[in-house]
C-alpha cells in the first residue's frame, strides 16, 4: 500500500468545537476569494528588509568568520565539486563532520556564478522571505485580508526570524520555508504535501529529523495513521544515523562534536528533569515564542512540532541555547504562526478573542522590533561606513587573492571568499593549521574574538609575533607577513 495515499478519514470531517469551519472541509482557494497579493507583497518586502539588514552588517564588518566565513568556505568547496571543507575549522576539515547539512550543496552552483559571501546572504533572505507565503495565504483563506496582513507582518517581523537574518548565515535558513509549507499543509489536512515538505528537513541539520518525527506524529494523530507512523520512524532513524554514524565517521575526532561534556558527578534523573525548566530564561523564551501570535498558538495541537527543538535546547547545559539570541528559534516561528492560523481555522477562537489576540500580538511585535535586530535598519551607523571600516578595507586589500591568512573573527568573514582563511584566535572546536599562513591580520577592536596569545602580543606596546614582520598597523588593525621558510611556525 502506498503510504502517501493520504485521503482524509471520516472522523476528521466532523465540525470542530466552538463552531467555525473544520480544517478538513473544502475551503475556496485564496485565488477564488481574494488576490494572492498580500502574500506576495509581504514576501517581497521582507526579502528586501532581510537583505538590507544582513548585507549592511556585512558591509560594515559586523559579520564573523564563525559563521558566515565557515559557510562561505562550504559553498566555495561545493562550487569546486569537492567535499565541504572549512579551513576556519581546521586544515582539511570536512564540515559534514561538524553538522549534517548536505542540503548546502544547492549553494554550489549559485556560488560558482556569484563567488561572494553576499551570495549566501541573498539566498538566506530569499529562503526566509518565501516562508511568509504559505502562512499568509492560509490566513487569507481563513479570515480574509486583514487577518492575513496581521499574521504575515507579525511573522515576517518576528524576533526569531530577525535573529537568524542578523547572525550571519546558517543552514536552518533552508528549514524555515520547508517547515512553513509542511506545517501549514498539515494544518489544512493536506497530508501528502505535509509529508513531502517535511522529508527534506533531515538534510538540513541532524536534529531536524526529530522535528520530522513530530510532524509525522501529528499526521498519525489527525490524519492517515500509516503515513504518519512511517514519517515518524523516518525522522528518528535519520537523526540516529546522522549523529551516531555519519558525523562521527567524518569528524576528525571520530565523534559527534556536540555531545554535552561529561559531568564530574552523576546527577539524579529528578535533578536533570528539574534543570530542564530552569533558569527562568527558558520560560521567557517560550513566552516570547507565543506572544507575537497573541497566544492564539496555544489553542492548536500543531504546537507539538515545537517540542523536539525546545527539548534538546532546554536539556542542554549550554546557556546560549536557552534564550532568544542567535538563530536557534528561527525554526520555531513558522510553527507558532501556523498554529495561530490553525486555531482560528478550526473555530477555537471567537471574534472578540481574536481582536484581543491581535492587540497583544501587535504589542509584542512592536516591542521586539526595538530590541531585536530589525531596529538596526533605522540607525544611521548601519548605513555609513566608519573610518575604522574604510581603513580595514584598505589594509585587507593588500592581501592577495588565493593567499593563506590567519585573521581575527570579523576580518575572517571579509576574506573567506577570496583567500584560504583560518582563525588567529582558535575557537574551542578549531584545529591548528598544518602550515603557518602567509599572512596574519588582527583587529584589536573585535569583541567577538577569544582571548589568545597572538592577540595579547599585537595589542601590547611592543607587538611581536615570531616568524612574522609587521607590514602595516593603523586604527587597531595589524597586518603581518611571514618571513623565512615555509616550515617556520609562528
Q: Please tell me the least confidently modeled range out of 80-84, 100-104, 204-208, 484-488.
A: 484-488
Task: Out of 176-190, 324-338, 421-435, pick the least confident.
Answer: 421-435
* Residue range 231-246, pLDDT digits in tens: 999 999 999 999 999 9
pLDDT digit string, tens, across residues 82-97: 999 999 998 889 999 9
User: Is 9's pLDDT higher than 60?
Assistant: no
Give the pLDDT confidence score for residue 72 in this predicted structure.
Answer: 98
Query: Can you give the pLDDT at residue 431?
Result: 82
Higher pLDDT, 23 or 227: 227
* Inter-helix orientation angle 145-156/132-143, to 10°: 150
| Residue 205 and residue 239 in contact, taking contact as beta carbons nearer than 8 Å | no
Confidence band (pLDDT; 50, 70, 90) for 11?
very low
More confident residue, 70 or 260: 70
Residue 8 has pLDDT above 50, yes or no: no
In a 10 Å sphere around its CB, with 0-12 CB exposed, 13-18 middle and 19+ buried, how is residue 413 labelled?
Answer: buried
| Nearest alpha carbon to residue 142 among 303, 290, 335, 348 | 348
pLDDT-above-70 percentage for the chain: 90
pLDDT number for residue 184: 98
Average pLDDT for 126-137: 98
pLDDT value at residue 265: 66
In 3D, which of 168, 245, 177, 176 has the Cα closest to residue 206? 245
pLDDT at 461: 79
Residue 23 has pLDDT above 70, yes or no: no
Quote the percentage of the chain above a pLDDT of 90.
72
Task: Decide which of 336 and 4 is more confident.
Answer: 336
The whole-number pLDDT of residue 98 equals: 94
Q: Is the peptide bond before 257 cis (omega within 30 degrees of 0)?
A: no
Give per-residue pLDDT as tens, 337-385: 999 999 999 886 667 788 889 899 999 998 888 887 898 998 999 999 9
436 versus 5: the higher-pLDDT residue is: 436
Q: What is the pLDDT of residue 14?
A: 37
How does residue 264 score in pLDDT terms, banded at 50, 70 and 90? low
List, for residues 311-345, the tens digit of each pLDDT value.
Answer: 999 999 889 999 999 999 999 999 999 999 999 99
Over its C-alpha atoms, the chain yields an Rg (Å, rounded) of 24
Identify the band that residue 144 occupies on the pLDDT scale cut at 50, 70 and 90. Answer: very high
Q: What is the pLDDT of residues 376-415, one digit of tens each?
A: 998 999 999 999 999 999 999 999 999 999 999 999 999 9
The C-alpha cell of 43 is what? 514576501
Contacts by 414-417 with C-beta closer than 8 Å and gap 24+?
414/61, 414/117, 415/69, 415/441, 416/65, 416/68, 416/69, 416/70, 416/72, 416/73, 416/76, 416/88, 416/117, 417/72, 417/76, 417/115, 417/116, 417/117
pLDDT band at residue 26 using 50, 70 and 90 as cut-offs = very low
Average pLDDT, the chain: 89
pLDDT of residue 19: 36
pLDDT (mean) for 273-294:
91
Half-sphere exposure at residue 268, Cβ-oriented, CA atoms within 13 angstroms: 3
CA distances, 100 to each of 54, 175, 379 (Å): 24, 13, 37
Backbone angles phi, psi at 421, to 5 degrees: -110, 140
Looking at residue 432, what is its pLDDT?
A: 82
Q: Which residue has the higher pLDDT, 6 or 108?
A: 108
Which region among 199-208, 310-319, 331-340, 480-489 has the lowest average model confidence (pLDDT)? Answer: 480-489
Interval 156-169 mean pLDDT: 95
pLDDT over 80 (residue 201): yes
Contacts of 210 (CB under 8 A, 6+ apart): 235, 236, 239, 308, 309, 311, 312
Amino acid at each position: 500500500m502506498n503510504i502517501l495515499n493520504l485521503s482524509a478519514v471520516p472522523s476528521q470531517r466532523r465540525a470542530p468545537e466552538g463552531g467555525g469551519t473544520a480544517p478538513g472541509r473544502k475551503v475556496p482557494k485564496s485565488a477564488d476569494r481574494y488576490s494572492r497579493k498580500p502574500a506576495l507583497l509581504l514576501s517581497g518586502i521582507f526579502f528586501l528588509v532581510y537583505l538590507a539588514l544582513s548585507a549592511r552588517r556585512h558591509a560594515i564588518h559586523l559579520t564573523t568568520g564563525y559563521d558566515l566565513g565557515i559557510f562561505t568556505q562550504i559553498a566555495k568547496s561545493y562550487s569546486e565539486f569537492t567535499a565541504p571543507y572549512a579551513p576556519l575549522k581546521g586544515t582539511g576539515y570536512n564540515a559534514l563532520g561538524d553538522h549534517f547539512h548536505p542540503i548546502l550543496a544547492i549553494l554550489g552552483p549559485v556560488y560558482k556564478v556569484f563567488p561572494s559571501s553576499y551570495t549566501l546572504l541573498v539566498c538566506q533572505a530569499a529562503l526566509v522571505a518565501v516562508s511568509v507565503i504559505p502562512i499568509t495565504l492560509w490566513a487569507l483563506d481563513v479570515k480574509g485580508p486583514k487577518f492575513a496582513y496581521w499574521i504575515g507582518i507579525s511573522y515576517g517581523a518576528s524576533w526569531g526570524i530577525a535573529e537568524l537574518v542578523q547572525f550571519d548565515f546558517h543552514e536552518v535558513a533552508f528549514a524555515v520555508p520547508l517547515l512553513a509549507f509542511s506545517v501549514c499543509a498539515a494544518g489544512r489536512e493536506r497530508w501528502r504535501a505535509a509529508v513531502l515538505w517535511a522529508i527534506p528537513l533531515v538534510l538540513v541539520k541532524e536534529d531536524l529529523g526529530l522535528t520530522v518525527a513530530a510532524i509525522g506524529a501529528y499526521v498519525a494523530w489527525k490524519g492517515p495513521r500509516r503515513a504518519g507512523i512511517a514519517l515518524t520512524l523516518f525522522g528518528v532513524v535519520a537523526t540516529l544515523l546522522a549523529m551516531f554514524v555519519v558525523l562521527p565517521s567524518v569528524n576528525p575526532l571520530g565523534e559527534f562534536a556536540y555531545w554535552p561534556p561529561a559531568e564530574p558527578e552523576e546527577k539524579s534523573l529528578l535533578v536533570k528533569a528539574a534543570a530542564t525548566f530552569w533558569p527562568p530564561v527558558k520560560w521567557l523564551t517560550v513566552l516570547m515564542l507565543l506572544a507575537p501570535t497573541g497566544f492564539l498558538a496555544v489553542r492548536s495541537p500543531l504546537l507539538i512540532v515545537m517540542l523536539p527543538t525546545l527539548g534538546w535546547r532546554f536539556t542542554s547545559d549550554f546557556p546560549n541555547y536557552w534564550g532568544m539570541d542567535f538563530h536557534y528559534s528561527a525554526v520555531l516561528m513558522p510553527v507558532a504562526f501556523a498554529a495561530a492560523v490553525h486555531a482560528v481555522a478550526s473555530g477555537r477562537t471567537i471574534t472578540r478573542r481574536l481582536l484581543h489576540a491581535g492587540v497583544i500580538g501587535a504589542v509584542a511585535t512592536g516591542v521586539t522590533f526595538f530590541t531585536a535586530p530589525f531596529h538596526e535598519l533605522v540607525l544611521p551607523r548601519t548605513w555609513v561606513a566608519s573610518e575604522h571600516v574604510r581603513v580595514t578595507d584598505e589594509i585587507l586589500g593588500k592581501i592577495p587573492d588565493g593567499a593563506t591568512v590567519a585573521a581575527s573573527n570579523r576580518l575572517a568573514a571579509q576574506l573567506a571568499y577570496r583567500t584560504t582563511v583560518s582563525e588567529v584566535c582558535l575557537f574551542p572546536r578549531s584545529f591548528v593549521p598544518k602550515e603557518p599562513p602567509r599572512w596574519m591580520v588582527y583587529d584589536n577592536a573585535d569583541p567577538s574574538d577569544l582571548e589568545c596569545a597572538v592577540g595579547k602580543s599585537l595589542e601590547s606596546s611592543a607587538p611581536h609575533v615570531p616568524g612574522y614582520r609587521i607590514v602595516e598597523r593603523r586604527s587597531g588593525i595589524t597586518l603581518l607577513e611571514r618571513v623565512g621558510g615555509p616550515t617556520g611556525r609562528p
